Chain A
Amino acid sequence: MQAQSSVVKSSLRLTLAAVLMFGFGFAMVPLYDIFCEITGLNGKVQQSVITTDMQVDRSRLVKVQLIAANNAEMPWRFTSLQDEVELHPGDWKQVGFWAANVTDNYMVSQSVPSITPARAAQYIEKRECFCFQQQPLEAGESKQMNLVFTISPDMPDDIHTVSMVYTLFDASAYSEANKLVARVD
């Protein structure tokens, strides 16, 4: 009988471990985001909360390429209005993208940012970005969407070029009205 109760005890303990590991699988989602933020993996950028101006580093200019891309399922026209800009680290810069919904339906878009080189991502600060929210457009409507950003002067000075790519996705299925479960970002 002693043996039987210890069997039950270890089985319960192991079942609990399995349940916890199932939870751990889901916990990898936020853990991964933290990992991305630390390493700049995926070019995910923190939404900037910095409002005070930083020290501008006038000694160097960084070239920033602005690139628009479409997901295959996204029929909108989407282009960047400036192919590239140059700025001193610490200087705020406003650039524009232009989007046109050429379909016959109301659609909602989501832009997904990605930055190379990945190690530059953590030094990009954005005050305003169309990628922060979903952007809806009526059928046939078009508009300019803005991005206000800077590069932290702390960025290593061997990085001379930064590419910021925005991919436009059809997020109509994930629009606020349709959203069942939101992933915390």
Chain B
Amino acid sequence: MTSVVTSHEDGHHGPAKGLMRWVLTTNHKDIGTMYLWFSFTMLLIGGAMALIIRAELFEPGMQLIEPEFFNQMTTMHGLIMVFGAIMPAFVGLANWLVPMMVGAPDMALPRMNNLSFWILPFAFGMLILTLFSEAGAPNFGWTFYAPLSTTYAPSSVTFFIFGVHLMGISSIMGAINIIATILNMRAPGMTLMKMPLFVWTWLITAYLLIAVMPVLAGVVTMMLMDIHFGTSFFNAAGGGDPVLFQHVFWFFGHPEVYIMILPAFGIVSQIIPTFARKPLFGYASMVYATASIAFLSFIVWAHHMFTVGLPLATELFFMYATMLIAIPTGVKVFNWVSTMFRGSMTFETPMLFALAFVVLFTIGGFSGLMLAIAPADFQYHDTYFVVAHFHYVLVPGALFAIIAGVYYWIPKWCGNYYNETLGKWHFWLSFIGVNITFFPMHFVGLAGMPRRIPDYALQFADFNAVASVGAFIFGFSQLLFLYIVITTIRGNNKASAEVWEGAEGLEWTLESPAPYHSFSEPPEVK
């Protein structure tokens, strides 16, 4: 792909040649590309782990792997997908698009941009290598509750902690860069309330990252000190408290959930107006709704802990606060639907993924509302109902939005249209696969199947088999995506500057493919 992109260089400001171009690059497009390829690689690795899990769960009994390895798989699948696939993909999209959308030549801090990307392969390389160590990979779940992750952890936990520190630093640097770019590099006339929603949602996401990634770093540092330096933050024997771990973790963890969905809201808010050929309904309310969701994310963390034994008043507070989130989220869905209403719609692949996002994310939102009801949560908690819920918001939610974004902007990135027929195939296979995989999980969860178990009672067998079939359909459809992206990069179905008929925004005023440096002269913003 190096050769392909370099073939587009025109004139004076072209990139350097060879491998060193990628190692040393400070160009926002190069770095964005690397982020996206990195996250796709992680998606395939994490996906392979998911398929190992689903293969073992295809029928009752232990067939393919041992419980110990199963726990390593669930843990690594979660960590890799959250920190390796979804988050870097959004950062990659931000790198590519934020400078083009605000009319800047590049990111504000190009050298730091390079560093924040190149930390990631090392962080994840280290994490994945623990699989081959004698003690095995981390096996305590991606939520790594103490004391399972401290007193009772395998020795690889230290590498895990170091890996989390590295990816945290990478995210924080990425977030600083994005905020600095948005606040300082906007073209004259691009006021905050004129920014595209993708830029707005990322601005808010970046603030969330800066607020909570250090807390994650704090909690793993406390673990490290407990394990190696004789402190007892989480060990009752020395005066600590394992429940404290959960409070600190979820203080990070809940905003983290929104870090993984707010940029997706931004992408969908760009795509729907384009293909409805109608301006986004309620732009200002979209911005306010995003900000309210971000604010609320700081005061709802204990809804992950309803069964921990919180006092009644605390439980009620977190239940009410969590229910409130439904309001701004609802506003967003209503706005998207109103944007479509009386538009003039066409259904190219990005639009299909965006529409699936609206429907399936909303289903995930409904189950989220059900989980918010504390008394009912005593039945849902730690079952497959929860697994179904967060996979609905993360897979047909965050991941579909990312895929929609790639289809939407790839003609701008490499100057070629993708193959629309194959794109539609990819959509329908993914859409069907995702629902076959995750919808039955609602049923087994309600019927009483706990999450994170390698084997299950006989009454859960049928739906688990269905889910496993769906997982393989969904997993292998993503290879089609890889094929489509590669053929698009190599293709010669030239795209116009505007690319899409109804597209609005500064990025569409640049030629396709976008020049190596976006806006050397600030554009005029009307």
A, B: real partners: yes
**A residues in contact (CB < 8 Å) with B:** 3, 6-7, 10-11, 14-15, 17-26, 28-29, 32, 39-42, 71, 110, 112, 118-119, 167, 169-171, 173-174, 178-183, 185
Whether A14 touches B236, Cβ cut-off 8 Å, given contacts A3-B185, A179-B230, is: no
Q: Which residues of B contact A118 (CB under 8 A)?
A: 309, 311
Specify which of B177, B212, B237 lies most central, judged by the most chain A CB atoms within 10 Å of its CB.
B237
- In the complex, which residues of chain B have a beta carbon less than 8 angstroms from the beta carbon of A173? 230, 237-238
Also in contact, A10 and B251, with CB within 8 A (given A25-B214, A178-B230): no
B91 on the A face (CB < 8 A): no
Which bucket holds chain B's interface residue count?
Answer: 35 or more
Q: Which of chain A's residues have a CB closer than 8 A to the CB of B477?
A: none
B219 at the interface (CB under 8 A from A): yes
Q: Does B354 contact A (CB under 8 A)?
A: no
A123 to B: closest C-beta gap in Å: 14
> In the complex, what residues of B have CB within 8 A of residue A22's CB?
214-215, 217-218
- Count: A-B pairs, CB below 8 Å: 127
CB–CB B211/A29 < 8 A? no
The closest CB in chain B to the CB of A28 belongs to B248
Q: Are B248 and A183 in contact (CB under 8 A)?
A: no
- Known: A7-B109, A10-B184, A171-B238. Contact between A41 and B311, CB under 8 A? yes
Q: How far is the CA of A25 from the CA of B310 in the complex (A)?
A: 20
What is the bound-complex CA distance between A181 and B180, given in angstroms?
Answer: 39
A3: contacting residue among B184, B235, B311, B313, CB under 8 A? B184
- Contact across chains for A181 and B218 when beta carbons are under 8 A apart: no
What 18 additional pairs, Cβ within 8 angstroms, besides A18-B214, A180-B230? Answer: A3-B185, A7-B185, A17-B210, A18-B176, A19-B214, A22-B214, A23-B218, A32-B241, A39-B311, A110-B237, A110-B239, A169-B236, A173-B237, A174-B239, A179-B230, A181-B230, A181-B231, A182-B239
With A21-B212, A22-B214, A42-B241 in contact, do A180 and B229 touch (Cβ < 8 Å)? yes
Among candidates B213, B221, B238, B247, residue contacting A28 with C-beta atoms closer than 8 Å:
B247
| B314 contacts chain A at the CB level, 8 A cutoff | yes
Complexed CA–CA distance, A174 and B233 (Å): 12
Partner of B210, one of A7, A18, A119, A183: A18
